[in-house]
A and B are shown apart, each in its own frame.
Chain A
């Protein structure tokens, strides 16, 4: 069975600082990997995804993530935090083909300090 681990349930960074949210997956087969963002009282919005190909993927709002098979990681980064980035972030994995249901991490709440 697949599992996804997000280190740090709460992360605080200053406005303009680097954002780093950690995600590790556990799977014998490299899965499809996703980051979603959730704003208060809203659904999940897709930030970015890794399916195949380039291991550094760029998403919306200046976020990017790198798939590292050797480390079974898919950490999310943004060079400069903005106040509007305050939200909860979920890492998720799906796959292999034929098993597309998502397994989610427990989420990381990002706070931006002005």
Chain B
């Protein structure tokens, strides 16, 4: 079956621009997570959606970061007014309500 997919695979943007990153979870998975992987900070949790519950946004680094999940499926992570320190790989994962998470290939973001 299809795994977690993310788009775009690579994104280059200029400082100050907004970017949107998309995640398609595995069909039937109720939980969706976003993580960031960067050289300086390693792998960090950003945000977590579980069903219709309010998302856990405790990992978002600033108010420039936001995410939504429409229809309990696809999720979009938006970064406004990008900064160079936002350059990283953004990973999405999904799970069927268990602790076991399955990851997508990631979006590599480069802010010039």
A-side residues, CB < 8 A to B, are 32, 34, 36, 41-46, 49, 51, 90, 92, 94-95, 100-104, 106-107
Instruction: Name A45's closest neighbour in chain B (CB-CB).
Output: B103
Residues of chain A contacted by B99 (CB below 8 angstroms) = 32, 34, 49, 51, 94-95, 100
Per DSSP, chain B at the interface is: strand
A-B residue pairs, 9 tightest by C-beta:
A104-B43, A32-B99, A44-B103, A43-B103, A43-B105, A94-B99, A101-B45, A100-B99, A43-B106
Q: A36-B103, A42-B105, A49-B100 are in contact. Are A101 and B59 (CB under 8 A)?
A: yes
B-side residues, CB < 8 A to A, are 4, 31, 33, 35, 42-45, 48, 56, 59, 91, 93, 95, 98-106, 108
Residues of chain B contacted by A34 (CB below 8 angstroms) = 99-101
- Cα separation A38 to B70 with both chains bound (whole Å): 29
Q: A43-B106, A44-B103, A51-B99 are in contact. Are A102 and B45 (CB under 8 A)?
A: yes
- Cα separation A44 to B48 with both chains bound (whole Å): 17
Residues of chain A contacted by B101 (CB below 8 angstroms) = 34, 46, 94, 100, 102
CB of A97, distance to nearest CB on chain B (Å):
8
Residues of chain A contacted by B106 (CB below 8 angstroms) = 42-43
- Cα separation A46 to B101 with both chains bound (whole Å): 8
Q: Which of A43, A102, A106 is the one whose CB lies under 8 Å from B33?
A: A102
Q: Are A101 and B48 in contact (CB under 8 A)?
A: yes
